[in-house]
Amino acid sequence: MGRFVTAKKMRDIDLRAQKEFGIPGLILMENAGLRAADAALEILKRRKNKNVTVLCGPGNNGGDGFVVARHLVNKGLPVSVFIFTDDNKIQEDALTNYIILSRMGACIYRVLNEEGMGVLKRHLTRSGMIIDAIFGIGLNRKISGFFYDIINCVNGVGGYVLSLDIPSGLCATTGKVLGTCIRARSTVTFALAKKGFFRGKAPQFIGRLIIVDISLPRILLKRLK
């Protein structure tokens, strides 16, 4: 099983990397997104359908999704990106990567209500891979309303889902489902496995677990021993 951390501990490590070592959050996001893109490419090698749909929330998990989308676009893959919030609600580092992706001419759709669900479902149905970057380890409330419908739509399609860091809707510390949860075929998690991955029914939502290095200072990780 190796080392694992709670959501709080992982956030503390991220913050210490930024404050004590001066590593900008944008660099950590880039490292995470690049490693996740590499994992996605390895999976796509074994799949005939190369169409990718990336689902991005407003936070840093969505920012990771924008980075992944950029790298896949640069590899020449057909990528569609769906965002579920207005620009002014996208967090700072994530917004930077969203702007970069937009300037590259990526295919980006904004879905803010039930009216856009038809377009989303059509793309999901045609996708060889769905990348889940809606909610990350910071989620601490039950999912309801519009996002509840989005996640259930993804699960209903039954496509190959790769979740970034954690399946959206899963508590990283307890492993409990917060209202509803993405059922991923694979989860690429950043730096360390999360405690909740090994609790209760969490493994059935995570699928195959891939842990990737995002170049956090080694001394921060050694202190976990």
Structure tokens, 157: 């399609």
Altogether, the residues listed in the chain come to a count of 225
Identify the domain containing residue 129 by its residue range. Answer: 4-222
Percent of the chain residues past pLDDT 90, beyond the cut = 92
The pLDDT tens digits for 38-50 are 999 999 999 999 9
Position 224 pLDDT exceeds 80? no
Dihedral angle of Cα 124, 130, 133, 138, to the nearest 10 degrees: 100
Question: CA gyration radius for the chain?
Answer: 16
Can you tell me the distance from the alpha carbon of 124 to that of 131, in angstroms, rounded to the nearest whole number? 10
- Cα distance between residue 213 and residue 114, in whole Å: 37
List pLDDT tens digits, range 95-140.
999 999 999 999 999 999 888 899 999 999 999 999 999 999 999 9
**Greater model confidence, 4 or 72:** 72
- The CA distance from 118 to 8, in Å, is 37
C-alpha–C-alpha distance, residues 117 and 40, integer Å: 25
CATH code, 22: 3.40.50.10260
Domains of the chain: total: 1
The 3-state DSSP class for residue 197 equals helix
pLDDT average, residue stretch 16-22 = 96
Give the pLDDT of residue 225.
57
d(CA 178, CA 144): 9
- Which token pair is 71? 């790298």
Whole-number pLDDT of residue 2: 59
